[in-house]
Amino acid sequence: MNELYSICWNITNKCNENCKFCYRKICDDNSLEENKKIFDNISKIKIDKITFSGGEPLLYEDLFKLGDYIKSKNPEIKLSLTTNGQMINDDLFNKIINTFDWISFSIDSSNTNVNDEIGRGKNHLEKIVSLLDKFNNKIKLKINTVANKYNIDDLENIYNIISKYHISRWKIFRFYPLRKGKENEKLFYLNDSESQLVEDYVTSKQKHDSKIKIHYNNLNEFTTSYFNIYPDGSIENSKDEDIGNLLYDDILNILKIKKNDLINHNLRKNNEL
pTM higher than 0.75 for the full model? yes
Tens of pLDDT along 188-237?
899 999 999 999 999 999 888 778 999 998 866 544 456 899 999 999 88
Distance CA 218, CA 107 (A): 18
| Structure confidence by residue, pLDDT tens digits, 18-51 | 888 888 888 899 999 999 999 999 999 999 999 9
135-185 pLDDT tens trace: 999 999 999 999 999 999 999 999 999 999 999 999 999 988 777 667 888
With a pLDDT cut of 90, the percent of the chain lying above it is 69
Domain residue extents for the chain: 4-272
Give the list of residues 6+ apart from residue 179 with CB closer than 8 angstroms, or none: 22, 23, 24, 25, 26
CATH architecture of 4-272: Alpha-Beta Barrel (3.20)
**Crossing angle for the helix pair 155-162 and 124-135, nearest 10 degrees?**
30
CA angle 25, 114, 222 (to 5 degrees): 35
Q: Contact 141/132 with Cβ under 8 angstroms?
A: yes
